[in-house]
Amino acid sequence: MAISSKNDAKKALSDVNPNHNFFVRNGHVLKNIKELPSALRKMKKDEFEHHVNKERNDFANWIKHIVKDTKLAADLMKIKDKKNTIKKISDRVKWLEKKAK
């Protein structure tokens, strides 16, 4: 889904259905994309690499299929390092928050 309206932005920022929370390898549970940058900052390198590596990007898949932000998911598929992943998600959350107003 392309985020084109205020309602789309609000939905992308809201908590997902509890059945679709993201369970990080370190035990942290994410309910929405606003929680993701903070969780990533606290994540150890091996924990991040468990979720993001050559074979997969669990965060991009969760954002695409559960949060339904296809643009952010596509952008994240191109990124394999933690620093740029945090920046891309943080920038997108700021953009969504402006759009949701």
Q: Token pair of 65, please? A: 């299929």
Query: What parts of the chain have a pLDDT lower than 70?
Result: 1
- pLDDT for residue 40: 96
3-class DSSP state of 55:
coil
How many distinct structural domains can be found in the chain? 1
Rounded to whole angstroms, the Cα distance separating 12 from 47 reads 25
Domain-embedded: residue 24: yes
pTM: predicted TM-score of the whole model, two decimal places? 0.93
- pLDDT for residue 26: 86
Domain-embedded: residue 58: yes
- pLDDT for residue 42: 94
- pLDDT for residue 14: 96
Range(s) of the domain holding residue 31: 6-100
Domain-embedded: residue 93: yes
- pLDDT for residue 89: 98
- pLDDT for residue 2: 80
Residue 36 buriedness (CB in 10 A; 0-12 / 13-18 / 19+): buried
Rounded to whole angstroms, the Cα distance separating 48 from 37 reads 12
Domain-embedded: residue 1: no
Domain-embedded: residue 10: yes
